[in-house]
Amino acid sequence: MKYIFGPVASRRFGMSLGIDLSPDKKRCNFDCIYCELEPAKPVDIYDNPPSVDEIFKEVKNAVDEFEFDVLTITSNGEPTLYPYLNELIDKLKTLNKKLLILSNSSTINDKEIQNALKKLDIVKLSLDSVNEKTFKKIDRPSKSVNLQNIINGIIEFRKIYEGELIIEILVVKGINDKEEEFKKLNDVLAKIKPDRVDISTIDRPPAYKVEGVSVERLFKLSENIKNQNVFIPTRDKINYKIENLTKEELLNTLKKRPFSESDVKNIFDEHTQKIFNDLLKENVLEEVWVGGIKFYKAYV
Protein backbone atom coordinates (compact mmCIF):
# COMPACT_ATOMS: atom_id res chain seq x y z
CA MET A 1 0.00 0.00 0.00
CA LYS A 2 1.35 3.38 -0.97
CA TYR A 3 -0.85 5.88 0.81
CA ILE A 4 -2.00 3.95 3.89
CA PHE A 5 -0.13 3.25 7.12
CA GLY A 6 -1.22 1.70 10.38
CA PRO A 7 -3.50 1.34 12.16
CA VAL A 8 -1.25 2.71 14.91
CA ALA A 9 -2.16 3.27 18.55
CA SER A 10 -1.82 6.97 19.24
CA ARG A 11 -1.88 8.40 22.78
CA ARG A 12 -3.63 11.50 21.50
CA PHE A 13 -6.29 10.15 19.14
CA GLY A 14 -6.75 6.42 19.81
CA MET A 15 -6.33 3.80 17.09
CA SER A 16 -5.53 5.68 13.91
CA LEU A 17 -5.44 4.58 10.29
CA GLY A 18 -3.16 7.02 8.45
CA ILE A 19 -3.41 8.40 4.93
CA ASP A 20 -0.07 9.77 3.75
CA LEU A 21 -0.69 12.28 0.96
CA SER A 22 2.99 12.56 0.05
CA PRO A 23 4.55 9.10 0.33
CA ASP A 24 7.34 9.53 -2.22
CA LYS A 25 9.10 12.57 -0.68
CA LYS A 26 8.81 15.41 1.81
CA ARG A 27 6.61 18.24 0.59
CA CYS A 28 6.33 20.86 3.28
CA ASN A 29 6.28 24.64 3.49
CA PHE A 30 8.07 24.37 6.86
CA ASP A 31 11.40 22.77 7.69
CA CYS A 32 10.97 22.46 11.45
CA ILE A 33 14.06 21.88 13.49
CA TYR A 34 12.28 19.01 15.23
CA CYS A 35 11.08 17.32 12.02
CA GLU A 36 11.69 13.58 11.93
CA LEU A 37 12.01 13.67 8.15
CA GLU A 38 15.18 14.61 6.30
CA PRO A 39 15.76 18.38 6.14
CA ALA A 40 14.36 19.83 2.90
CA LYS A 41 13.92 23.29 1.46
CA PRO A 42 10.35 24.42 2.18
CA VAL A 43 8.03 24.31 -0.84
CA ASP A 44 4.68 26.02 -1.35
CA ILE A 45 3.44 23.88 -4.23
CA TYR A 46 2.73 20.16 -4.40
CA ASP A 47 4.38 18.88 -7.61
CA ASN A 48 2.98 15.85 -9.50
CA PRO A 49 -0.01 15.23 -7.24
CA PRO A 50 -1.68 11.81 -7.39
CA SER A 51 -5.35 11.69 -8.36
CA VAL A 52 -8.10 11.55 -5.74
CA ASP A 53 -9.30 8.24 -7.22
CA GLU A 54 -5.87 6.65 -6.79
CA ILE A 55 -5.73 7.57 -3.10
CA PHE A 56 -9.37 6.83 -2.38
CA LYS A 57 -9.22 3.34 -3.88
CA GLU A 58 -6.52 2.37 -1.39
CA VAL A 59 -8.28 4.01 1.52
CA LYS A 60 -11.52 2.20 0.73
CA ASN A 61 -9.78 -1.21 0.73
CA ALA A 62 -7.98 -0.44 4.01
CA VAL A 63 -11.18 0.76 5.68
CA ASP A 64 -12.83 -2.56 4.82
CA GLU A 65 -9.83 -4.48 6.16
CA PHE A 66 -8.89 -2.73 9.45
CA GLU A 67 -10.55 -1.65 12.67
CA PHE A 68 -9.66 1.80 13.99
CA ASP A 69 -11.10 4.88 15.74
CA VAL A 70 -10.07 7.60 13.37
CA LEU A 71 -8.95 8.03 9.77
CA THR A 72 -6.06 10.49 9.83
CA ILE A 73 -5.12 12.68 6.87
CA THR A 74 -1.43 13.38 7.11
CA SER A 75 1.61 13.68 4.89
CA ASN A 76 5.37 13.49 4.66
CA GLY A 77 5.04 17.23 4.90
CA GLU A 78 1.94 19.41 5.00
CA PRO A 79 -1.29 17.69 3.85
CA THR A 80 -3.13 20.93 2.99
CA LEU A 81 -0.65 21.50 0.14
CA TYR A 82 -2.31 18.59 -1.71
CA PRO A 83 -4.26 20.49 -4.39
CA TYR A 84 -7.33 18.22 -4.48
CA LEU A 85 -7.83 18.05 -0.72
CA ASN A 86 -11.41 19.33 -0.80
CA GLU A 87 -12.45 16.71 -3.34
CA LEU A 88 -10.66 13.98 -1.39
CA ILE A 89 -12.37 14.99 1.85
CA ASP A 90 -15.77 14.80 0.12
CA LYS A 91 -14.99 11.25 -0.97
CA LEU A 92 -13.66 10.24 2.45
CA LYS A 93 -16.89 11.51 4.02
CA THR A 94 -18.80 8.82 2.14
CA LEU A 95 -16.97 6.19 4.22
CA ASN A 96 -18.73 7.38 7.40
CA LYS A 97 -15.59 7.25 9.51
CA LYS A 98 -14.29 9.79 11.98
CA LEU A 99 -11.90 12.05 10.03
CA LEU A 100 -8.90 13.91 11.42
CA ILE A 101 -6.25 16.06 9.77
CA LEU A 102 -2.82 16.93 11.18
CA SER A 103 -1.79 20.29 9.75
CA ASN A 104 1.00 22.74 10.52
CA SER A 105 -1.55 25.65 10.21
CA SER A 106 0.37 27.40 7.43
CA THR A 107 -2.61 27.54 5.04
CA ILE A 108 -5.45 28.06 7.51
CA ASN A 109 -5.93 31.68 6.50
CA ASP A 110 -7.05 30.46 3.06
CA LYS A 111 -10.87 30.36 2.85
CA GLU A 112 -10.85 27.35 0.53
CA ILE A 113 -8.78 25.37 3.01
CA GLN A 114 -11.07 26.47 5.85
CA ASN A 115 -14.12 25.30 3.91
CA ALA A 116 -12.49 21.93 3.22
CA LEU A 117 -11.29 21.37 6.80
CA LYS A 118 -14.57 22.36 8.38
CA LYS A 119 -16.09 19.12 7.06
CA LEU A 120 -13.75 17.05 9.26
CA ASP A 121 -14.51 15.75 12.75
CA ILE A 122 -11.17 16.75 14.27
CA VAL A 123 -8.67 19.34 13.06
CA LYS A 124 -5.25 19.48 14.69
CA LEU A 125 -3.35 22.67 13.98
CA SER A 126 0.18 23.34 15.19
CA LEU A 127 1.14 26.60 16.86
CA ASP A 128 4.61 26.29 18.37
CA SER A 129 5.04 29.97 19.07
CA VAL A 130 3.23 33.28 18.62
CA ASN A 131 6.50 35.17 18.68
CA GLU A 132 7.73 35.89 15.15
CA LYS A 133 11.40 35.31 15.94
CA THR A 134 10.84 32.06 17.78
CA PHE A 135 8.36 30.85 15.16
CA LYS A 136 10.93 31.34 12.39
CA LYS A 137 13.64 29.66 14.44
CA ILE A 138 11.62 26.59 15.28
CA ASP A 139 9.40 26.05 12.21
CA ARG A 140 11.68 27.57 9.53
CA PRO A 141 8.76 28.36 7.18
CA SER A 142 8.90 29.30 3.51
CA LYS A 143 8.93 33.03 2.79
CA SER A 144 5.26 33.04 1.85
CA VAL A 145 4.15 31.95 5.34
CA ASN A 146 3.20 34.68 7.79
CA LEU A 147 2.65 34.06 11.51
CA GLN A 148 0.02 36.76 11.97
CA ASN A 149 -1.98 35.31 9.06
CA ILE A 150 -1.82 31.92 10.74
CA ILE A 151 -3.08 33.30 14.05
CA ASN A 152 -5.88 35.26 12.35
CA GLY A 153 -6.72 32.25 10.20
CA ILE A 154 -7.08 29.95 13.21
CA ILE A 155 -9.29 32.48 15.02
CA GLU A 156 -11.51 32.84 11.93
CA PHE A 157 -11.60 29.08 11.34
CA ARG A 158 -12.77 28.49 14.92
CA LYS A 159 -15.75 30.73 14.25
CA ILE A 160 -17.01 28.58 11.36
CA TYR A 161 -15.85 25.16 12.58
CA GLU A 162 -18.13 23.07 14.74
CA GLY A 163 -15.91 19.99 15.10
CA GLU A 164 -13.11 19.45 17.57
CA LEU A 165 -10.24 21.90 17.16
CA ILE A 166 -6.97 20.87 18.76
CA ILE A 167 -3.94 23.13 18.94
CA GLU A 168 -0.57 21.44 19.33
CA ILE A 169 2.50 23.11 20.79
CA LEU A 170 5.75 21.22 20.41
CA VAL A 171 8.43 22.36 22.83
CA VAL A 172 12.13 22.41 21.91
CA LYS A 173 14.79 22.98 24.56
CA GLY A 174 16.26 26.47 24.51
CA ILE A 175 13.82 27.77 21.88
CA ASN A 176 10.16 27.88 22.91
CA ASP A 177 10.54 26.52 26.46
CA LYS A 178 10.31 29.87 28.30
CA GLU A 179 7.45 30.96 30.56
CA GLU A 180 7.19 34.18 28.54
CA GLU A 181 6.45 32.20 25.34
CA PHE A 182 3.65 30.36 27.07
CA LYS A 183 2.13 33.50 28.54
CA LYS A 184 1.86 34.92 25.02
CA LEU A 185 0.49 31.64 23.70
CA ASN A 186 -2.10 31.74 26.47
CA ASP A 187 -3.36 35.15 25.28
CA VAL A 188 -3.76 33.89 21.72
CA LEU A 189 -5.36 30.61 22.82
CA ALA A 190 -7.93 32.61 24.79
CA LYS A 191 -8.95 34.23 21.50
CA ILE A 192 -8.91 30.97 19.53
CA LYS A 193 -10.95 28.94 22.05
CA PRO A 194 -9.81 25.48 20.92
CA ASP A 195 -11.37 22.32 22.33
CA ARG A 196 -8.01 20.96 23.44
CA VAL A 197 -4.39 22.09 23.67
CA ASP A 198 -1.76 19.36 23.31
CA ILE A 199 1.69 20.13 24.64
CA SER A 200 4.40 17.73 23.61
CA THR A 201 8.12 17.56 23.01
CA ILE A 202 10.61 15.68 20.85
CA ASP A 203 10.50 11.98 21.57
CA ARG A 204 12.19 10.55 18.49
CA PRO A 205 15.53 11.75 17.07
CA PRO A 206 14.90 14.71 14.75
CA ALA A 207 16.88 15.70 11.67
CA TYR A 208 18.60 18.62 13.40
CA LYS A 209 20.64 18.61 16.60
CA VAL A 210 17.98 19.77 19.02
CA GLU A 211 16.59 18.33 22.22
CA GLY A 212 13.24 18.08 23.88
CA VAL A 213 12.43 19.05 27.46
CA SER A 214 11.32 16.84 30.34
CA VAL A 215 7.65 16.01 30.84
CA GLU A 216 7.90 17.81 34.19
CA ARG A 217 8.92 20.98 32.31
CA LEU A 218 5.92 20.58 29.99
CA PHE A 219 3.62 20.46 33.02
CA LYS A 220 5.34 23.51 34.52
CA LEU A 221 4.94 25.47 31.25
CA SER A 222 1.32 24.34 30.97
CA GLU A 223 0.52 26.22 34.20
CA ASN A 224 0.57 29.35 32.04
CA ILE A 225 -2.26 28.05 29.86
CA LYS A 226 -5.49 28.99 31.59
CA ASN A 227 -9.02 27.68 31.14
CA GLN A 228 -8.18 25.18 28.42
CA ASN A 229 -8.36 21.38 28.16
CA VAL A 230 -4.61 20.84 28.21
CA PHE A 231 -3.34 17.40 27.31
CA ILE A 232 0.26 16.31 27.84
CA PRO A 233 0.86 12.77 26.65
CA THR A 234 2.65 10.86 29.42
CA ARG A 235 3.54 7.21 29.62
CA ASP A 236 4.29 6.65 33.30
CA LYS A 237 4.25 8.22 36.71
CA ILE A 238 6.28 11.42 36.61
CA ASN A 239 7.91 13.80 39.08
CA TYR A 240 5.43 16.62 38.62
CA LYS A 241 2.84 16.17 41.36
CA ILE A 242 -0.35 17.72 42.56
CA GLU A 243 -0.28 16.89 46.25
CA ASN A 244 -2.44 16.97 49.35
CA LEU A 245 -5.22 19.16 47.99
CA THR A 246 -8.27 19.64 50.16
CA LYS A 247 -11.66 18.98 48.64
CA GLU A 248 -12.26 22.69 48.17
CA GLU A 249 -8.84 23.26 46.61
CA LEU A 250 -9.29 20.39 44.17
CA LEU A 251 -12.75 21.59 43.23
CA ASN A 252 -11.42 25.10 42.59
CA THR A 253 -8.53 23.72 40.55
CA LEU A 254 -10.90 21.64 38.42
CA LYS A 255 -13.09 24.66 37.84
CA LYS A 256 -10.16 26.57 36.36
CA ARG A 257 -8.43 23.77 34.54
CA PRO A 258 -9.84 20.42 33.44
CA PHE A 259 -7.53 17.45 33.95
CA SER A 260 -7.26 14.47 31.61
CA GLU A 261 -7.78 10.93 32.84
CA SER A 262 -4.05 10.25 32.52
CA ASP A 263 -3.24 13.39 34.58
CA VAL A 264 -5.46 12.12 37.37
CA LYS A 265 -3.63 8.80 37.29
CA ASN A 266 -0.10 10.12 36.84
CA ILE A 267 0.17 13.45 38.63
CA PHE A 268 -2.36 13.39 41.48
CA ASP A 269 -0.85 11.90 44.64
CA GLU A 270 -2.76 9.15 46.45
CA HIS A 271 -4.51 11.55 48.81
CA THR A 272 -5.66 13.86 45.98
CA GLN A 273 -6.84 10.86 43.95
CA LYS A 274 -9.01 9.79 46.87
CA ILE A 275 -10.55 13.27 47.13
CA PHE A 276 -11.05 13.20 43.36
CA ASN A 277 -12.92 9.88 43.61
CA ASP A 278 -15.15 11.35 46.34
CA LEU A 279 -15.98 14.29 44.08
CA LEU A 280 -16.81 11.89 41.25
CA LYS A 281 -19.26 10.04 43.51
CA GLU A 282 -20.87 13.33 44.49
CA ASN A 283 -21.56 14.08 40.80
CA VAL A 284 -19.94 17.49 40.92
CA LEU A 285 -17.57 16.68 38.08
CA GLU A 286 -18.33 16.67 34.41
CA GLU A 287 -16.68 14.30 31.93
CA VAL A 288 -15.75 15.89 28.62
CA TRP A 289 -14.38 13.91 25.67
CA VAL A 290 -12.20 15.74 23.16
CA GLY A 291 -10.61 13.87 20.24
CA GLY A 292 -10.67 10.58 22.14
CA ILE A 293 -9.29 11.98 25.42
CA LYS A 294 -11.42 12.13 28.57
CA PHE A 295 -11.19 15.26 30.73
CA TYR A 296 -12.75 15.98 34.10
CA LYS A 297 -13.87 19.43 35.07
CA ALA A 298 -15.95 20.78 37.91
CA TYR A 299 -19.39 22.18 37.18
CA VAL A 300 -19.16 25.92 37.77
CA end-to-end span of the chain: 50
Q: Burial level of 277, CB count in 10 A (0-12/13-18/19+)? A: exposed
- Give the range of 9-17, 23-31, 130-138, 277-285 binding ligand SF4 by CB under 6 A: 23-31
For residue 197, give every residue at least 6 positions away whose Cβ sits within 8 Å of its Cβ, in sequence order, or none: 166, 167, 168, 169, 189, 225, 228, 229, 230, 231
Task: Please say whether the beta carbons of 175 and 217 come within 8 A.
Answer: no
Nearer to ligand SF4, 200 or 272 (CB): 200
Q: Applying CB under 6 A, which of residues 12, 17, 18, 31 lies at the interface with ligand SF4? A: 31
Exactly one of 7, 18, 50, 77 binds ligand SF4 (CB under 6 A); that residue is: 77
Residues 94-113 that bind ligand SF4 (CB under 6 A): 104
A 10 A CB-CB count for 287 gives 11
- Does position 28 interact with ligand SF4 (CB under 6 A)? The reply is yes
Among 20, 69, 78, 177, binds ligand SF4 (CB under 6 A): 78
Out of 19, 21, 35, 230, the only residue in the binding site for ligand SF4 (CB under 6 A) is: 35
- Binds ligand SF4 (CB under 6 A): choice among 6, 10, 37, 131: 37
**Closer to ligand SF4 by Cβ: residue 31 or 263:** 31
Beta-carbon-side half-sphere exposure of residue 136 (alpha carbons within 13 Å): 8
Per DSSP bridges, beta strands 122-126 and 99-103 are parallel
Cβ pair 219, 266 in contact under 8 A: no
Closest distance of CB 78 from ligand SF4, Å: 6
Backbone φ/ψ region at 244: left (φ over 0), alpha (ψ -120 to 50), beta = left
Stretch that binds ligand SF4, among 24-32, 160-168, 216-224, 288-296 (CB under 6 A): 24-32
Q: Interface with ligand SF4 by CB under 6 A: which residues?
A: 28, 30-32, 35, 37, 77-78, 104
